[in-house]
């Protein structure tokens, strides 16, 4: 299944690129600035910060937004400057510029609040949640997405959140999200030739087998992919009053849960997707079994 293939790709990736330990504490100005810089500069951002600031200056929960903004603008990256302006304007408006209050906010409320600020810039939003608020959210880098598309784990037209939903099932905790994300982002700090070499090593060493029979299907230009979604029904038809009451009660509890959690957390609990990679023969067998009701 796709989780198996993700594991194979990721394990080989960690052999190619040593994962870097995140050097800053959660809820500090170091974690805040690095979470904005890593999507742009990769792990080189950590080196920049440690060279330009003292470690003791970075591991504090209060600092001047103006000073930090000036520093980030000095990197002369248009995207970084844009994201910095948007986030710092939000902190000034909602928290009167008090970073300590911002850092102590509930993580999933912050998730919802950051969504419109980083619209279509999800990696920035997720690095903030991961490094500042210690949320088990995996930011999807552009290079990782390209690699996973190359190996057919994802399709080119899938949205960021669709890709992340699968990856969040694999990268299950904060430490694992950080370690693996930083390994992938290290590629952004390398030259194009070095990245090309790593991609070649992934291509040559990662096995790509049929989930049915185990046959090597790497030579196939387009293997068959089966996508299986498991989610609760959105409709109900009840004949008895007590069943209807139970349904209403269940829906009420569900809505209450939804109101307390971020959309991505609710999705993770109520929706699961599996993907099978199949050769032509196993594809035909799989379809026949489904048509004959043999899938349970």
Q: How is the chain split into domains, by residue range?
A: 2-199, 224-291
**Torsion sign (Cα): 196, 198, 204, 209:** negative
Q: Is the dihedral of CA 5, 11, 13, 19 positive or negative?
A: positive
Q: For residues 143 and 195, what is the distance between their CA atoms, to the nearest angstrom?
A: 9
pLDDT at position 249: 62
> Which stretch of DSSP H or E encloses residue 274?
strand 272-278
Q: Could you tell me which of 282, 268, 183, 155 has the C-alpha nearest to residue 224?
A: 282
Task: Output 60 or 275, whichever has higher pLDDT.
Answer: 60
* Average pLDDT value for residue range 25-37: 96
What pLDDT, on a 0 to 100 scale, did the predictor assign at position 40? 96
Distance CA 222, CA 203 (A): 15
Does 1 have pLDDT greater than 70? no
Residue 53: what pLDDT?
93
Which letter does DSSP use for residue 216 in this model?
A: B
Interval 38-84: pLDDT, tens: 999 999 999 999 999 998 889 999 989 999 999 999 999 999 999 99
Distance from C-alpha of 86 to C-alpha of 119, rounded to nearest angstrom: 11
Cα-trace Rg, the chain: 22
What torsion do the CA atoms of 60, 64, 65, 70 make, to the nearest 10 degrees? -110
Task: Return the SS3 of 209.
Answer: strand
For the segment 82-108, the average pLDDT, to the nearest whole number, is: 94
Whole-number pLDDT of residue 42: 94
User: Of 144, 139, 176, which is closest to residue 39 (Cα–Cα)?
Assistant: 139
- The answer for residues whose C-beta is within 8 angstroms of residue 45's C-beta and 6 or more apart is 34, 37, 38
pLDDT by residue (tens digit) across 174-221?
999 999 999 999 988 888 899 889 888 988 898 888 888 888 887 776
Mean confidence (pLDDT) of the chain: 85
In 3D, which of 205, 141, 202, 218 has the Cα closest to residue 13? 202
Cα–Cα separations (whole angstroms), residue 163 to 106, 138, 139, 142, 144: 25, 10, 10, 11, 11
What is the C-alpha separation between 121 and 83, in angstroms, rounded?
9
142-157 mean pLDDT = 86
Q: Which pairs with CB-CB distance under 8 Å and at least 24 residues apart come from 23-26?
A: 23/50, 23/55, 24/58, 24/59, 24/131, 25/59, 26/103, 26/131, 26/132, 26/133, 26/134
Could you tell me where the DSSP H helices lie in the chain? 2-16, 29-41, 44-52, 55-58, 65-73, 78-95, 99-103, 107-114, 122-127, 142-150, 160-170, 174-185, 192-205, 241-260, 263-270, 280-291
For 254, the token pair is 């569900």
């Amino acid at each position: 299944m796709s989780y198996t293939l993700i594991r194979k790709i990721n394990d080989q990736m960690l052999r190619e690129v040593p994962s870097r330990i995140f050097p800053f504490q959660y809820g500090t100005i170091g974690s805040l600035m690095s979470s904005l810089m890593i999507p742009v500069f990769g792990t080189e951002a950590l080196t920049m910060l440690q060279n330009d600031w003292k470690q003791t200056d970075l591991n504090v929960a209060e600092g001047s937004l103006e000073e930090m903004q000036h520093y980030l603008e000095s990197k002369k990256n248009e995207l970084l400057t844009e994201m910095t302006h948007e986030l710092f304007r939000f902190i000034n408006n909602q928290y009167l510029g008090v970073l300590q209050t911002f850092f102590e906010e509930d993580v999933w409320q912050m998730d919802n609040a950051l969504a419109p600020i980083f619209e279509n810039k999800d990696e920035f939003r997720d690095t903030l949640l991961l490094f500042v608020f210690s949320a088990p959210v995996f930011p999807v880098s552009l290079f990782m997405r390209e690699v996973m598309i190359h190996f057919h784990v994802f399709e080119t037209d899938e949205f960021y959140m669709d890709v992340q939903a699968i990856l969040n099932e694999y990268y299950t905790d904060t430490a694992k999200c950080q370690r693996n994300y930083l390994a992938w982002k290290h590629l952004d700090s390398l030259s194009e030739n070095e990245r090309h070499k790593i991609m070649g090593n992934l291509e040559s060493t990662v096995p790509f087998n049929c989930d049915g029979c185990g046959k090597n299907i790497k030579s196939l230009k387009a293997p068959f992919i089966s996508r299986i979604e498991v989610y609760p029904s959105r409709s109900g038809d009840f004949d008895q009053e007590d069943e209807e009451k139970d349904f209403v009660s269940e829906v009420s509890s569900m809505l209450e849960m939804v109101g307390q959690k971020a959309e991505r957390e609710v999705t993770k609990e109520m929706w699961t997707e599996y993907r099978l990679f199949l050769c032509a023969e196993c594809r035909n067998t799989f379809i026949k079994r489904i048509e004959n009701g043999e899938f349970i």
